[in-house]
Amino acid sequence: MTRFFRHTAAAALLGAACAGCAPLLLGGAFVGGGLVATDRRTTGTQLEDEGIERRASTRVRELATLGHVNVTSYNRVLLITGEVPADADKTSIGDALAKLENVKSVVNELGIGQNSTTGSRTTDAFLTTKVKATLVDAKDVQANAYKVVVERAIVYLMGRVTEREASRGADLARSVSSVQKVVRVFEILSEDELANLGRSSSSSSGASAPK
């Protein structure tokens, strides 16, 4: 239920932000109204992240936990959120998912206690949309550089960002009403590394452009 709402909200947000522009391509960019948004992962890594999430979801089902567990992979860092009944469940899930193919590291943010209610998950979906919209409206950050996960009104921010972008993104998320806490799950890039990513993206786009 939660993941469905998140994906629906994300699709609606991107559609609103990019009305009349070209479709967003995997590993590519969309251009419209002066905005260029490019995923900072390679196409191969994006596909790996999708595979990690599928395998992680399958493994969680195999463990037959009574909890409510969500998994999100970004650049092969696997974030685990939700709730499980006991510390032992949290540990066993974290250990099992850390062994999956292509997983670089695991950030285990599972809470201990009862599963979140439908109302709580609906609120989380709404907050996800609000945080994403706030990032888009800010104009001084590239909203597409952030992956937003919300669980129990706690915002988890993932992505490959500079320290400035990390601080600014966290401040923007905190500014959203009803957000209880912001957790940074970033890979920090230097300004030079970010500039090199931009040059690589431009070179790739130029090489593939029709003559």
**What pLDDT shows up at residue 204?**
59
**What pLDDT shows up at residue 205?**
55
**What pLDDT shows up at residue 188?**
97
**What pLDDT shows up at residue 200?**
72
**What pLDDT shows up at residue 64?**
83
**What pLDDT shows up at residue 11?**
45
**Which phi and psi angles does 77 have, rounded to 5°?**
-95, 120
| Homologous superfamily (CATH) for 44-112 | Stage III sporulation protein AH-like (1.10.287.4300)
Q: Which residue type sits at 32?
A: G
Please tell me the pTM assigned to this model: 0.78
**What pLDDT shows up at residue 203?**
61
Question: CA-to-CA distance for 202 and 109, rounded, in angstroms?
Answer: 36
pLDDT in tens, the chain (211 residues): 444 444 444 444 444 444 333 333 333 343 333 334 479 999 999 999 999 999 999 999 999 889 999 999 999 999 999 999 999 999 999 999 999 999 999 999 999 999 999 999 999 999 999 999 999 999 999 999 999 999 999 999 999 999 999 999 999 999 999 999 999 999 999 999 999 887 776 665 555 444 4
Question: CA-to-CA distance for 113 and 191, rounded, in angstroms?
Answer: 41
